[in-house]
A and B are shown apart, each in its own frame.
Chain A
Amino acid sequence: MLVTKDLTKKYQDFTAVDKLNLTVKDGAIFGFLGHNGAGKTTSLSMLTTLILPTSGSATIDGFDVVKDNLQVRNLLGYLPENVMLYGDLTARENLQFFGKLSKVKDVNKNIDEVLNMLNFTEWTDKKVKTFSKGMRQRIGIAQAILHKPKILFLDEPTSGLDPQGTKDIRNILLKINAEWGTTIFMNTHLLSEVTKICTDIGIISHGKLLVSESLSNLKENFKDAKSLEEIYFSIEGGVNNE
């Protein structure tokens, strides 16, 4: 589904992402881990066609993110970190706008279906500015999946949420993955969530990809580790100590 080859992003003297080589299979839930400033958001921005890579390439379902950007956008859904949406519009109005932009046919029917899936029908006609963070995240996910994308990119989807909110989001993602077969690419630094939801993980540090493996393989390779946290620190710490 997603393949990157030496994907690099440089800002003048600073290398934000350094030769990222990544493969994400169809239907996977990929957790992209890393410390603050590691290059997660930059990588995500390149994959969602929002910024241009300095060098290297990335393809989604065979479409290049630079040359075939419009086709790539047709395949993806995106939820950035801390999205506010249009506060003065209702949930439905927000979704209608984004749905029409995504050329969704019968947008209202899709909105109803998605909101139903997210258990959000009660607040459809309320203004977004009255929503809590958890509710906004749910609407954020709704706009990202309205057009039933093949791959969903999420940047810190549970950031700032309470445990119930985190659990709700997790369940939604699992549902989307299970029912629609949507590949999920998720930036996060919540190791507990990765353990509960992801099938594959990648760890990035200072722009470099340290590891990209299925979770089961990783656990196999680090048999002595008691938790994913230990695995993470041993991989990241080992590199930082070198």
Chain B
Amino acid sequence: MKTKKTIFSVLFLLTLVFSFMQNGIQVFASEVPNITTNYEIVPGETTNARIALENTDTVSHTYTLSTGQLPEGFNGYFSLDGNVVNNITLDASQKNIIDFFIDVPLNTSVADMSIPLEIIRDDGVKESLSVSFTLNQDYALSISSNIQSLKAINGDSIMLEIGITNTGNKDLTDLSLQVDPPYKWIVENVDPANLTLKPGENSLYKLKVTIPSSGQAGQYPINISCTNSDVTSNSISIPVNVSTSVNYFWWITGIIGVLLIFTILYFKKHGRR
């Protein structure tokens, strides 16, 4: 009886394996080193998942790669040898490792997700594989500012206050503000120079930016983010509307006015001819 059960199990397994082999696709993740179906993602970073694809058929096939619906803000794409691909051609018995990249937005409420990956062979045969992603909330940082826009005059200095919050689960040390001002603007007195924040803690950066007197009038953005070795925050852009100092207007009008008066007096002295 026991022998009969064993024979039937082996036969069943063999049938399963045989029928699977008849489909011609092998998609597996666990038998190849460094390939797993469970990945950790960090907000603001790109995670690289790997899948192995083998053509077990006797002829060459082209396989179309696609993902299921991704959560909002996420972007996923396949890559082979550094090139983004939507399909791959494999010869008979050829095996290849494909990278699946997923860009994670900085602000996401998705903690865990499972993304179905679909591989469709050129003759319609389908295979799917689910890859799981778990959000690593250890290091997360957010900055904000109450300033919608600023008005300033050439040569002026403006003061900015940037709020910063540690939205992760671990302490963040050596945080420094990265300020990308327009060309020739000078960033002065970033206070504090470095910051340490515990989880949930927030603080305020104060900085002074000086606009060159030679700057042209117009709207210029100051792009700011905060970073340390573990994490980079979101980037905010503060538009500054720069106008030319009205002193120039008075100077020029004054010169014209003086010249006009001089001309009138000149005419009075020499008579209108």
What is the interface of chain A, defined by CB distance below 8 A to chain B? 49, 52, 66-67, 69
**How many B residues face the partner with a CB closer than 8 A?**
4
**A49, closest chain B residue (CB):** B273
Closest residue of A by beta carbon distance from B271: A66
Say how far B267's CB is from chain A's closest CB, in angstroms. Answer: 13
- CB closest residue in chain A, given B273: A69
The DSSP consensus for interface residues of chain B is: loop
A-B contacts, 8 listed (Cβ < 8 Å) = A49-B273, A52-B270, A52-B273, A66-B271, A67-B271, A69-B271, A69-B272, A69-B273
Q: Min CB distance, B190 to chain A, in Å?
A: 69
Cα A49 to Cα B273 in complex, Å, equals 8
Q: Kindly list chain B residues whose C-beta atoms are within 8 Å of the C-beta of A67.
A: 271
> In the complex, which residue of chain A has the Cβ closest to the Cβ of B270?
A52
Minimum C-beta distance from B150 to chain A (A): 59
Shortest distance from the beta carbon of B6 to any chain A beta carbon, whole Å: 121
The CA-CA distance from A139 to B231 in the complex, in Å, is 93
Give the docked Cα–Cα distance between A49 and B272 (Å). Answer: 11
Which of B270, B272, B273 neighbours the largest number of chain A CB atoms within 10 Å of its CB?
A: B273
B270: chain A residues within 8 A (beta carbon): 52
CA distance A98 to B86 in the complex (A): 85
Report Cα–Cα, A67/B270, bound state, in Å: 10
State A49–B271 Cα separation when bound (angstroms).
12
- A52 contact set on B, CB distance < 8 A: 270, 273
Chain A residues with CB under 8 Å of B273's CB are 49, 52, 69
Give Cα A52 to B270, complex, Å.
9
8 smallest CB-CB distances across A and B, nearest first, come from A69-B273, A66-B271, A67-B271, A49-B273, A69-B271, A52-B270, A52-B273, A69-B272
Give Cα A52–Cα B273 distance, bound, in whole angstroms: 9
Apart from A52-B270, A69-B271, A69-B273: 5 A-B pairs, beta carbons within 8 A: A49-B273, A52-B273, A66-B271, A67-B271, A69-B272
CB contacts (< 8 Å) of A49 on chain B: these are 273
A66 proximity list for chain B (CB < 8 A): 271
User: How many angstroms between the C-alpha atoms of A15 and B1 in the bound complex?
Assistant: 149
- Report Cα–Cα, A69/B273, bound state, in Å: 7
Q: How far is the CA of A69 from the CA of B272 in the complex (A)?
A: 9
- B262-273 CB mask vs A (1 if < 8 Å, else 0) is 000000001111
Question: Whole-angstrom distance between the alpha carbons of A67 and B269 in the complex?
Answer: 11
Contacts of B271 in A (CB 8 A): 66-67, 69
**Nearest chain B residue, comparing its CB with the CB of A50:** B273
Cβ contacts B249-273/A at 8 Å (1 or 0 each): 0000000000000000000001111
Q: How far is the CB of A47 from chain B (nearest CB, A)?
A: 14
Mark interface residues in B114-139 (1 if CB within 8 Å of A CB, else 0): 00000000000000000000000000
A67 to chain B: closest residue by CB: B271
Chain A nearest Cβ from B118, distance in angstroms = 85
**Whole-angstrom distance between the Cβ of B51 and the nearest chain A Cβ:** 88
User: In the complex, what distance in Å separates the CA atom of A167 from the CA atom of B270?
Assistant: 42
Complex CA–CA separation, A67 to B271 (angstroms): 7
How many Å from the CB of B40 to the closest CB on chain A?
89
Inter-chain CA distance A52–B271, complex, in Å, is: 10
Instruction: Convert B130-158 into 0s and 1s, putting 1 for each residue whose CB lies closer than 8 angstroms to a CB of A.
Output: 00000000000000000000000000000
Query: Which B residues between 70 and 105 are near A, CB-CB below 8 angstroms?
Result: none
Roughly how many angstroms separate A67 CA and B273 CA in the complex, as a whole number? Answer: 9
Give the complex CA separation of A49 and B270 in angstroms. 13
Q: What is the minimal beta-carbon distance from B266 to any residue of chain A, in angstroms?
A: 13
Q: Distance in Å from the Cβ of A144 to the closest Cβ of chain B?
A: 20
Q: Which B residue's beta carbon lies closest to that of A69?
A: B273
| Cα distance A111–B26 in the bound complex, in angstroms | 109
- Complex Cα–Cα for A181 and B273 (A): 28
| A51 and chain B: residue at smallest CB distance | B273
Which residues from 211 to 255 on chain B have a C-beta closer than 8 Å to any C-beta of chain A? none
Chain B contacts for A69, CB-based, 8 A? 271-273
